Structure 1
């Protein structure tokens, strides 16, 4: 989720409460990793994240640790740079003829390359070849930048030469509101480039052994390689008992539209009480397929692809959409929703190149109760899975969701009793995983053992209001800006937090990002009271916050409501903070929190940066920290219970790499 900046409120903020400016962010640049294993998880030694994050079929290798004749990008967390959006905050740029070579740590017959190539001068992207050298010969992978390179202010544009989309918004770079200046300030173009990376999969045609080399060579344009995922893909799945869509005229070559044929297969399958089978091939679908009380399975997401174009509508739809595109949708909740939908083992590939928030161009949508979504590969849609409830009991497991313009997954409005587990999410243009309790609270849901990497905007995992929800055993890495690793916020008109929120045994690495509108650094985990106070029972237990750019933990109210709302009832226990550029805790609100067995090391500035609600009263800060014992590292003791230590511009000290505790 993302909303336009509330610059009018920010203008009332004294300059002392503004944070670290963009020009100072080099001080927070990531350091080169000293860990160089053959395989990593979120660019970390896998031993540091045991039991956390998704179980995936592939093995990750970072390009900056491979053999290369190209240039290794210095690690950096400065937004709008190729390094900042790379996994581990570094990558390798190849000029034509240069290569990066990986040694396979396990047998593999398929690879995924995460890369960036330049945009076209006027936007819209280009294509370029990449040579893939193997012991069996050289193949060509066609790269594209048609789904990357966004610019400017929310909701962004594909035009690198565009002027300000919102000339009356607060612009951090100049510290001004352009409409209030004469003349409006010039901006450098392209303005705020972002969303640089895309990824491409390639079946190698045979199995290569551990120790074999994969060499990627740029051919026509400078090519930045972030990482290689290698995988041993099994044989295609066959379901002879299911209704095969080929019998109803579906075209596996992708040349003809197969939507009507698939719908005929679904209708027949429901009559005979069988599943629908999508065999190997590419099936063209350029609109929504409505699903209810049906099972649809493919041969595996490396073999079966449902692919479509984004199609302009002749007139806007009732929901505001101006386009349609490939997607499997449950019926609207207002019409009763869908039930007993089961989708598994195929890929959905969209054609979304711009962000239009009214468009329903998501891979999965609508309302689906008592349903399952399993082992899909979703790419190039607006949101991978967006559910508009009320709806209940959906299980979303084992999916790969990459290269989205907006969220990876969002439980929007009244989703209850549902589970999101073992999903891998990379390169979203907004929150990776979100629960948004707009109008009706989400309740009783769990986000468990997912991996979220490099959201280019907003948060890895975000919970906006709701009741009795759980975020557990997830791995979140490298959020870029205006959000961070884990977020709980009373924002976007969400229903208030009630009951409990459990945040348990998660690992967040290289987070604590820069908030563009406030001009400050955020925490790896952060709580914001904007629309109402946060006073539910929130327990953060067993989390690890590693290599934090600024602070590890933040509790904040925006300046305009700081005297109206507070944050209380947050309890931190058994937490490890290994590296913080500024502080362990940053408090910018009234309220309080408890801390028990919170261990911290490698803290750059002070243990606690406590501004409270900025009244600086003689009795101390309006935010109280309670020590329940066992807090090591001498980070908490000097600041109890409410010592004012307010410094909006602490010097950032990049910590050493994370290591075993």
Structure 2
């Protein structure tokens, strides 16, 4: 199926308009016109379209393509394995040495985050290159960017070697439409094969506070060794002064080194033991602390001075022999005790950053930022980067809250509630550039229950889904913002797969917004919905309520319900209720049903629909009685596209309207309803 570029004309026009406004002729008064401010966006669209949804961590986002540049705007493009596809909004700015991009600060700021991409080294492993930063034409500061944590290739679980042959020659390859190992002659797959995970980000304290309206310029120096530097976006914010805690076990008193020259893990252990004996918190002043193993935490509070000031940074360390859990490496991370040992309780972590050194995906490795089992605990205000998974909790455990936290540049998931996590919440947190699901609940062996993901933002997962729920009981996914999944996943996903326990009780997707969601599924050769329900290992028949959600600029379908072909006559999807939804722009249909079962639709309003509103294939038997999937009309289903009303009378209750791979039609950009 062809993929499509989207929203590029508007972005290019905006860049041209800003450049003209900055360099244009004098006004009638003889004075030059006032500079046009760079738009503030959220998920690369007007913030008014996602008001009240997603996280608010105090920074403001500005897309590089909306600034002024003498570089090249790349994109838009949603084709996997391309630089634009992994950029926020599917568009970015490419600079060669000597070129710049600039934005005007919308608010007072003393800190910025730059999301960028650099080329890989020819043999893999990444390179480093400078980026100069000036504000208001003042003193130059130089950031040292790196691609050492970027550039994965090939098939899962991927490799850092751009010249590697197929990792799994016995797998189906879409590019050749074959299984290479079973084909004579064996087809050659060009290298580098399926490059991905291009972006990284870096934060910089500016040294002083600059007022709104100042020009922030990012320039690639003429001597840069990087042939190009792509700038995706800039976040700016006003960071509060470092937090000080006087009545605490200060880690400096136990030998911790804030310069990062010597390992501080043992000093942290001593501070924690002292704090536990004397009922004190542990305080970690500003500094960079080298930690190259897990810090095991139980019944303790550890507070940093703020994630911009207190940083735990470590190397990935090879173990001499594999650990009992299969790990072959260790690295920096804060871990609760194993659930089999009773887990940990009363752990409170806040106000620091964890920066790992993970550059490859080894699924058995415990090299996560936060891990283990932690009940009755809080994780608040952390910044986690370059670990395998930001936070991976192995239950049983209960009553834990993650909030106000930012997880970026992960090799795998952003956060996963795995196996018997109950009564726990993730709220007001941001997950950007994960190598697998941004947020997940995985009920493997034991059901997760009573958990909530609320007011979180997930952007640009390079593989899989923004938010994924794999089985479980009484789950709520509410008021989240999910944008730009890249490959083989959706914005919102419910799947009976990966050995998960069944869905029971209720599953609620309430008041969420997806933007440019739904990706191309390599193995099926079809596009996925922005919300995707998948019955692979059992039927889905819990009470599923999808209420108040908005689906903006869906790449393919807004909604997809599917059972895998080999089990299509065994499993079905039923008891799903779609209520008070808004669908603004679909590349194909509003609904793609590729399963037996049924769903009810009430007050689902749609516009700018690219294909017939319901693509009802059922379980592909095409019986005289109609589709095996029944579309039930609860009333108030309005709107559509050039093909007519999305919920046409002739599609009731189970008319077959199967178009397996309809052409993709580009909708106009989303706008106020």
Assess same fold via TM > 0.5: yes
| Candidates 488, 502, 524, aligned match of 1:496 | 502
The residue correspondences of 1:456-605 to structure 2 (distance < 5 A) are 456-605=462-611
Q: Distance in 2 between matches of 1:46 and 1:381?
A: 30
Q: Distance in 1 between matches of 2:491 and 2:7?
A: 16
Q: Deviations over 1:208-241 (max 9, x none)?
A: 1101011111121210000000011110000000
Query: How far did 1:74 drift?
Result: 2.4
| Candidates 622, 642, 653, aligned match of 2:665 | 653
Query: How far did 1:30 drift?
Result: 4.9
Q: Distance in 2 between matches of 1:640 and 1:193?
A: 44
Query: Aligned with 2:630: secondary structure?
Result: strand
2:62 maps to 61
Query: Aligned with 2:269: secondary structure?
Result: helix
| Candidates 154, 158, 166, aligned match of 2:160 | 158
Contact kept in structure 2, 1:30 and 1:77, CA below 8 Å:
no
Q: Distance in 2 between matches of 1:170 and 1:576?
A: 37
Contact kept in structure 1, 2:7 and 2:669, CA below 8 Å:
no
Greater shift in the superposed pair: 214-223 or 259-268: 214-223
Q: Distance in 2 between matches of 1:57 and 1:433?
A: 21
Query: How far did 1:31 drift?
Result: 4.0
**What TM-score, normalized to structure 1?**
0.96
Q: Distance in 2 between matches of 1:599 and 1:447?
A: 25
1:231 maps to 237
Contact kept in structure 1, 2:367 and 2:388, CA below 8 Å:
yes
Query: How far did 1:183 drift?
Result: 2.4
1:93 maps to 94
Q: Distance in 1 between matches of 2:181 and 2:564?
A: 23
Q: Distance in 2 between matches of 1:580 and 1:110?
A: 37
Q: Distance in 2 between matches of 1:273 and 1:44?
A: 48
Query: How far did 1:646 drift?
Result: 1.1
By relative contact order (CA 8 Å, sep 6+), the higher-ranking structure is 1
Q: Deviations over 1:140-176 (max 9, x none)?
A: 1000000000000000000000010000101011111
2:215 maps to 213
**What TM-score, normalized to structure 2?**
0.94
Query: How far did 1:415 drift?
Result: 0.3
Q: Distance in 1 between matches of 2:122 and 2:549?
A: 44
Q: Distance in 2 between matches of 1:207 and 1:269?
A: 36
Contact kept in structure 1, 2:421 and 2:448, CA below 8 Å:
yes
Contact kept in structure 2, 1:28 and 1:581, CA below 8 Å:
no
2:647 maps to 636
| Candidates 364, 368, 376, aligned match of 1:362 | 368
Query: Aligned with 2:486: secondary structure?
Result: coil
Query: How far did 1:32 drift?
Result: 3.9
Q: Deviations over 1:602-639 (max 9, x none)?
A: 00111000110010101111101000000001211231
Q: Distance in 2 between matches of 1:43 and 1:357?
A: 32
Query: Aligned with 2:298: secondary structure?
Result: coil
Query: How far did 1:340 drift?
Result: 0.2
Contact kept in structure 2, 1:29 and 1:78, CA below 8 Å:
no
The residue correspondences of 1:100-249 to structure 2 (distance < 5 A) are 100-135=101-136, 136-219=138-221, 220=224, 221=226, 222-249=228-255
Contact kept in structure 2, 1:266 and 1:294, CA below 8 Å:
yes
Contact kept in structure 2, 1:194 and 1:456, CA below 8 Å:
yes
Q: Deviations over 1:445-500 (max 9, x none)?
A: 00000000000000000000000010000000000010010000000000000000
Contact kept in structure 2, 1:28 and 1:653, CA below 8 Å:
no
1:381 is the counterpart of 2:387: yes
Contact kept in structure 1, 2:7 and 2:668, CA below 8 Å:
no
Q: Distance in 1 between matches of 2:186 and 2:386?
A: 36
Gaps in structure 2 of 5+ consecutive residues: 15-37, 640-644
Q: Distance in 2 between matches of 1:79 and 1:33?
A: 22
Query: Aligned with 1:270: secondary structure?
Result: helix
Query: Aligned with 2:590: secondary structure?
Result: strand
Q: Deviations over 1:165-215 (max 9, x none)?
A: 000101011111111111221111110000000000011101111010111
Greater shift in the superposed pair: 182-191 or 330-339: 182-191
The residue correspondences of 1:276-295 to structure 2 (distance < 5 A) are 276-295=282-301
Query: How far did 1:29 drift?
Result: 4.4
Contact kept in structure 2, 1:31 and 1:657, CA below 8 Å:
no
- Matched residue pairs, number? 638
| Candidates 240, 256, 260, aligned match of 1:254 | 260
Contact kept in structure 2, 1:473 and 1:506, CA below 8 Å:
yes
Query: How far did 1:641 drift?
Result: 1.0
Query: How far did 1:33 drift?
Result: 3.9
Query: How far did 1:55 drift?
Result: 1.1
1:403 maps to 409
Query: Aligned with 1:88: secondary structure?
Result: helix
* RMSD over aligned Cα atoms: 0.9
Q: Distance in 1 between matches of 2:7 and 2:364?
A: 37
Q: Deviations over 1:33-86 (max 9, x none)?
A: 469662100101000011000011111000000000000012010110000000
Query: Aligned with 1:469: secondary structure?
Result: strand
1:41 maps to 42
Query: Aligned with 2:558: secondary structure?
Result: strand
Q: Distance in 2 between matches of 1:307 and 1:353?
A: 14
Q: Distance in 2 between matches of 1:103 and 1:613?
A: 54
The residue correspondences of 1:306-317 to structure 2 (distance < 5 A) are 306-317=312-323
Q: Deviations over 1:337-380 (max 9, x none)?
A: 00000000000000000000000000000000000000000000
Q: Deviations over 1:276-315 (max 9, x none)?
A: 0000000000000000000000000000000000000001
Q: Distance in 1 between matches of 2:157 and 2:163?
A: 16
| Candidates 599, 602, 612, aligned match of 1:606 | 612
2:311 maps to 305
Contact kept in structure 1, 2:256 and 2:289, CA below 8 Å:
yes
